[in-house]
Amino acid sequence: MTKTLCHILLGFFIVVIATSKSFAQDDFLWLHYFNRYKLSYKFSIDSDVGYRSYFPEGERWQGRSGLRYDINDNFYVRGGVMFVGGSVARFEFRPYQDFVINSRVSFLTITQRVRFEQQMFFDGTDTRFRLRYNPSVKFSTFLGYCTLGVEPFFVLNNPNSRVASNRMYVGLTRKAYKNVFVTLQYINERSYTKEESSFINESNIIRLKVSHTIKPLRTGPLFGRKKQGLN
């Protein structure tokens, strides 16, 4: 199972890189801060702010926040809203819903995230309904945690577009301080034509990501696991 999954991911990277032709290319830096504020053992507020600098065209910023509920140790759901704007991005209000499953196979942690988005644009463009599927594999190395993943984007209400774009990424994560982790990530993103056999734009992205978990004082019955009594 482990070898098969690794072979599939590696093969996907090779095939996509080798078979496509680019018509335009962008390179930019992405600074991203993630914050998880624990309300209780089950609930938390997940927020993030991001800034992208497109050299030299302009910039894009985003802010997102949502409520997360942990169903169990391996499965959680989350819903919230996101705002997008900037000189190279349309202003957008974007509700979203996440379903995330984590599993472990040998030394690998496998994460699968399904995200539904409703993109509402301020310029009067019709609302776009989008599905994002993000499988990733994480494992420990002597340098830190290494993550490999892909994320295709599907436009659900456009019959002429199935896979609108796709991301492939590799990242290295290290613990900086207590509940703070820093990730350096390389992302290759491609926007496809409706034929999906070539792509019309390619972006090479360096993302610096800071992930921070805040755990308030646990002073009530909402915090911590319930103790199991003896029968």
Is position 227 within any domain?
Answer: no
For the whole prediction, is pTM greater than 0.75? yes
pLDDT at 122 over 90: yes
pLDDT for res 22: 45
| CA distances, 10 to each of 37, 149, 168, 202 (Å) | 35, 10, 11, 19
224 burial type by CB count under 10 A (0-12 exposed, 13-18 middle, 19+ buried): exposed
Q: What is the mean pLDDT of residues 219-227?
A: 57
Residues 6 or more apart whose CB falls under 8 angstroms from that of 155 comprise: 128, 129, 130, 161, 162, 164
**For the chain, percent of residues with pLDDT exceeding 70:** 79
Structural domain of 138 = 2-214
| Paired tokens of 79 | 């819903």
Task: Report which of 41, 32, 33 is spatially closest to residue 76, judged by C-alpha positions.
Answer: 41
Is position 172 within any domain?
Answer: yes
pLDDT for res 9: 53
Structure-model confidence comparison of residues 56 and 208, the more confident one: 208
Residues 6 or more apart whose CB falls under 8 angstroms from that of 135 comprise: 110, 111, 112, 113, 149, 150
**Mean pLDDT over all residues of the chain?**
85
d(CA 29, CA 146) in angstroms, rounded, equals 20
Is position 231 within any domain?
Answer: no
Is position 81 within any domain?
Answer: yes
Is position 219 within any domain?
Answer: no
CATH code, domain carrying 128: 2.40.160.40
pLDDT at 4 over 80: no
pLDDT for res 19: 44
pLDDT for res 113: 99
pLDDT for res 172: 97
Q: How many CB atoms lie within 10 A of CB 124?
A: 5
Is position 147 within any domain?
Answer: yes
* Lowest mean per-residue pLDDT among 31-35, 84-88, 225-229: 225-229
Counting the structural domains of the chain, the total is 1
163-179 per-position pLDDT tens digit: 888 999 999 999 998 89
d(CA 165, CA 117) in angstroms, rounded, equals 14
**Contact between 172 and 145 (Cβ < 8 Å):** yes
